[in-house]
Amino acid sequence: MHYANKLVCSNWLVLAFLFGSTAWAGEVTAARQVSYQLDVYPIIQSHCLKCHKTGGAGFEASGLDLRSYDNLMKGTRHGAIVVPGNPVASTLMVLIDGRADKSIRMPHNERPLLKPQVEIIRDWIRQGAQNN
């Protein structure tokens, strides 16, 4: 095989790899879109609502009512707990990651959320915390 032919073949292989990898990464990202209604709210229902609703201990302590998307985005009496697009700055993530004082880790006095549940919430916030 001539040098020019080898060069063309190797360039095609590199391009095929790059475009194939890019397409695959795009498919993973598109498939990983997190839905508030389908993915996040069921976690909230299972682990947060017994305290964070009117009359619950979490509501009384903070003013956080998690019965709806609008209430979640409103936050506590101290302000918002979700910064769309920024899970690091979101108080919600600080509390469920255990980066706050242990006395206020969420869920309070319960088993921590499972890592996949935490990642769902983190990804949802990273994706803009949409009401989808």
Query: For 25-51, what is each residue's pLDDT tens digit?
Result: 333 344 589 999 999 999 999 999 999
Residue 115's pLDDT is 98
- What residue segments make up the domains of the chain, in order of their start? 1-31, 36-126
Give the SS3 label for residue 59.
Answer: helix
Beta bridge partners of 79: 76
Name the more confident of 129 and 7.
129
CA distance 86 to 92: 11
User: What pLDDT, in 10s, does the model give residues 50-101?
Assistant: 999 999 999 999 999 999 999 999 999 999 999 999 999 999 999 999 999 9
| 128 pLDDT above the threshold of 70 | yes
Residue 31's pLDDT is 53
Query: Please, is 8 exposed, middle or buried when counting C-beta atoms within 10 Å of its C-beta (0-12, 13-18, 19+)?
Result: exposed
Contacts of 105 (CB under 8 A, 6+ apart): 95, 96, 98, 112
